[in-house]
Amino acid sequence: MDITDGHVPGPLERNRSPATVNQSSADGGGIGAGMSSTAGGAGRGPIHPRLLAMMMAARYYGLELDAEEFRLGQDETVPTAAALSAWAQTAGMWSRALRLRWRHLFNITGAGPVVLLFNDGSAGLLTGSNSESKIVLIRDPRAPEAEPPIPVDEMRLAEVWSGEAVLLRAERSQAKRIRRLPCAG
Protein backbone atom coordinates (compact mmCIF):
# COMPACT_ATOMS: atom_id res chain seq x y z
CA MET A 1 0.00 0.00 0.00
CA ASP A 2 1.45 3.38 -0.99
CA ILE A 3 1.01 5.83 1.86
CA THR A 4 2.30 8.86 -0.02
CA ASP A 5 0.35 11.20 -2.22
CA GLY A 6 3.13 13.43 -3.52
CA HIS A 7 3.12 16.08 -0.79
CA VAL A 8 4.49 16.21 2.72
CA PRO A 9 1.69 16.76 5.23
CA GLY A 10 2.66 17.09 8.84
CA PRO A 11 2.33 19.15 11.97
CA LEU A 12 5.28 21.27 10.92
CA GLU A 13 3.51 22.29 7.72
CA ARG A 14 1.37 25.40 8.03
CA ASN A 15 -2.16 24.74 6.66
CA ARG A 16 -2.99 21.30 7.98
CA SER A 17 -6.03 19.77 9.61
CA PRO A 18 -5.71 17.13 12.35
CA ALA A 19 -6.26 13.48 11.53
CA THR A 20 -8.75 11.35 13.44
CA VAL A 21 -9.88 7.76 13.63
CA ASN A 22 -13.26 6.26 14.38
CA GLN A 23 -14.24 5.77 17.98
CA SER A 24 -14.43 2.36 19.63
CA SER A 25 -17.30 0.06 19.00
CA ALA A 26 -19.99 -0.27 21.65
CA ASP A 27 -18.54 -3.56 22.94
CA GLY A 28 -15.27 -1.79 23.87
CA GLY A 29 -13.22 -3.77 21.38
CA GLY A 30 -12.54 -0.79 19.20
CA ILE A 31 -12.24 -0.37 15.47
CA GLY A 32 -9.03 -1.15 13.68
CA ALA A 33 -6.60 1.49 12.57
CA GLY A 34 -7.76 1.17 8.99
CA MET A 35 -10.55 3.51 10.17
CA SER A 36 -13.17 1.14 8.93
CA SER A 37 -15.13 -1.71 10.43
CA THR A 38 -15.54 -3.33 7.01
CA ALA A 39 -14.30 -6.91 7.00
CA GLY A 40 -11.80 -7.87 4.36
CA GLY A 41 -10.30 -4.39 4.13
CA ALA A 42 -11.94 -3.52 0.80
CA GLY A 43 -13.33 -0.26 2.17
CA ARG A 44 -10.42 0.46 4.49
CA GLY A 45 -9.39 4.10 4.72
CA PRO A 46 -5.94 5.52 5.29
CA ILE A 47 -3.87 4.38 8.24
CA HIS A 48 -3.65 6.90 11.06
CA PRO A 49 -0.31 8.80 11.10
CA ARG A 50 0.44 7.69 14.67
CA LEU A 51 0.15 4.08 13.58
CA LEU A 52 2.30 4.75 10.52
CA ALA A 53 5.02 6.21 12.73
CA MET A 54 4.95 3.15 14.99
CA MET A 55 5.04 0.84 11.97
CA MET A 56 8.06 2.68 10.53
CA ALA A 57 9.90 2.54 13.86
CA ALA A 58 9.18 -1.21 14.14
CA ARG A 59 10.54 -1.79 10.62
CA TYR A 60 13.80 -0.19 11.73
CA TYR A 61 14.16 -3.18 14.08
CA GLY A 62 13.11 -5.66 11.40
CA LEU A 63 9.61 -6.19 12.81
CA GLU A 64 6.18 -5.56 11.33
CA LEU A 65 3.20 -4.16 13.19
CA ASP A 66 -0.23 -4.91 11.73
CA ALA A 67 -2.50 -1.86 11.74
CA GLU A 68 -5.55 -4.13 11.81
CA GLU A 69 -4.48 -5.41 15.25
CA PHE A 70 -4.56 -1.94 16.83
CA ARG A 71 -7.70 -1.09 18.78
CA LEU A 72 -8.71 2.28 20.15
CA GLY A 73 -9.77 2.33 23.77
CA GLN A 74 -13.27 3.28 24.73
CA ASP A 75 -13.87 7.05 24.39
CA GLU A 76 -10.61 7.55 22.45
CA THR A 77 -10.62 9.43 19.14
CA VAL A 78 -6.87 9.24 18.44
CA PRO A 79 -4.35 6.56 19.42
CA THR A 80 -2.79 7.39 22.80
CA ALA A 81 0.82 6.78 23.77
CA ALA A 82 -0.28 4.03 26.17
CA ALA A 83 -2.41 2.30 23.51
CA LEU A 84 0.41 2.47 20.95
CA SER A 85 2.89 1.07 23.45
CA ALA A 86 0.54 -1.78 24.35
CA TRP A 87 0.08 -2.56 20.62
CA ALA A 88 3.85 -2.83 20.14
CA GLN A 89 4.21 -4.99 23.25
CA THR A 90 1.47 -7.33 22.02
CA ALA A 91 3.46 -7.70 18.79
CA GLY A 92 6.53 -8.78 20.78
CA MET A 93 8.44 -5.53 21.10
CA TRP A 94 9.74 -3.67 24.12
CA SER A 95 7.88 -0.36 24.29
CA ARG A 96 7.28 2.48 26.74
CA ALA A 97 4.99 5.50 26.58
CA LEU A 98 6.53 8.49 28.32
CA ARG A 99 6.79 12.25 28.46
CA LEU A 100 10.10 13.77 27.37
CA ARG A 101 11.63 17.24 27.48
CA TRP A 102 13.58 18.89 24.67
CA ARG A 103 16.95 18.14 26.27
CA HIS A 104 16.15 14.41 26.44
CA LEU A 105 15.82 14.23 22.65
CA PHE A 106 19.58 14.62 22.25
CA ASN A 107 20.32 11.64 24.51
CA ILE A 108 17.97 9.05 22.98
CA THR A 109 18.49 9.46 19.24
CA GLY A 110 21.35 6.93 18.96
CA ALA A 111 19.14 3.99 19.88
CA GLY A 112 16.83 4.14 16.85
CA PRO A 113 13.76 6.17 15.91
CA VAL A 114 11.49 7.55 18.62
CA VAL A 115 7.80 8.21 17.94
CA LEU A 116 6.79 11.75 18.92
CA LEU A 117 3.04 12.29 19.33
CA PHE A 118 1.96 15.74 18.21
CA ASN A 119 -0.80 17.87 19.74
CA ASP A 120 -2.98 17.72 16.60
CA GLY A 121 -3.22 13.92 16.75
CA SER A 122 -0.48 13.21 14.21
CA ALA A 123 3.05 11.93 14.86
CA GLY A 124 6.62 12.15 13.68
CA LEU A 125 9.73 10.04 13.95
CA LEU A 126 12.71 11.48 15.75
CA THR A 127 15.58 10.13 13.64
CA GLY A 128 18.54 12.21 14.77
CA SER A 129 19.81 15.29 16.50
CA ASN A 130 22.63 17.82 16.40
CA SER A 131 23.41 19.28 19.80
CA GLU A 132 25.80 21.89 18.36
CA SER A 133 23.10 23.32 16.07
CA LYS A 134 20.41 22.59 18.68
CA ILE A 135 18.12 20.85 16.19
CA VAL A 136 16.43 17.49 15.97
CA LEU A 137 15.55 15.63 12.77
CA ILE A 138 11.88 14.69 12.40
CA ARG A 139 10.45 12.45 9.67
CA ASP A 140 6.79 12.63 8.68
CA PRO A 141 5.53 9.03 8.47
CA ARG A 142 3.36 9.97 5.46
CA ALA A 143 6.20 11.56 3.51
CA PRO A 144 7.84 9.72 0.60
CA GLU A 145 10.69 7.42 1.64
CA ALA A 146 13.23 9.55 -0.24
CA GLU A 147 12.15 12.73 1.57
CA PRO A 148 14.83 13.75 4.11
CA PRO A 149 13.90 14.40 7.74
CA ILE A 150 13.01 17.98 8.65
CA PRO A 151 15.47 19.84 10.91
CA VAL A 152 13.50 21.40 13.77
CA ASP A 153 14.59 23.69 16.60
CA GLU A 154 13.16 23.75 20.12
CA MET A 155 10.81 26.70 19.56
CA ARG A 156 9.26 25.21 16.42
CA LEU A 157 8.82 21.76 17.99
CA ALA A 158 7.25 23.27 21.12
CA GLU A 159 4.46 24.67 18.92
CA VAL A 160 3.30 21.17 17.95
CA TRP A 161 4.63 18.80 20.64
CA SER A 162 3.99 18.68 24.39
CA GLY A 163 6.38 15.84 25.23
CA GLU A 164 4.41 12.68 24.49
CA ALA A 165 6.58 9.94 23.01
CA VAL A 166 6.82 6.20 22.52
CA LEU A 167 10.14 4.41 22.78
CA LEU A 168 10.37 0.97 21.22
CA ARG A 169 12.90 -1.66 20.24
CA ALA A 170 13.08 -5.37 19.56
CA GLU A 171 12.74 -7.56 22.65
CA ARG A 172 16.09 -8.72 23.97
CA SER A 173 15.23 -12.33 23.10
CA GLN A 174 14.69 -11.27 19.47
CA ALA A 175 17.90 -9.24 19.45
CA LYS A 176 19.83 -12.34 20.53
CA ARG A 177 18.54 -14.18 17.46
CA ILE A 178 20.44 -11.79 15.20
CA ARG A 179 23.53 -13.66 14.17
CA ARG A 180 26.74 -11.95 15.19
CA LEU A 181 29.48 -11.78 12.64
CA PRO A 182 32.77 -13.35 13.73
CA CYS A 183 35.55 -10.89 14.48
CA ALA A 184 38.52 -10.88 12.14
CA GLY A 185 41.75 -11.00 13.96
CATH of the domain at 96: 3.90.70.10
Residue 28 belongs to some domain of the structure = no
The 10s digit of each residue's pLDDT in 25-77 is 333 344 444 433 333 344 467 899 999 999 999 999 899 999 999 988 888 88
Residues of the chain with pLDDT under 50: 1-10, 13-43, 174-185
Burial of 50 (0-12, 13-18, 19+ CB in 10 A): buried
Residue 10 belongs to some domain of the structure = no
pTM of the model: 0.72
Question: How many domains does the chain divide into?
Answer: 1
Distance between terminal CA atoms of the chain?
45
Return the closest-CA partner of residue 125 out of 134, 69, 64, 145.
145
Residues of the domain holding 94 = 45-172
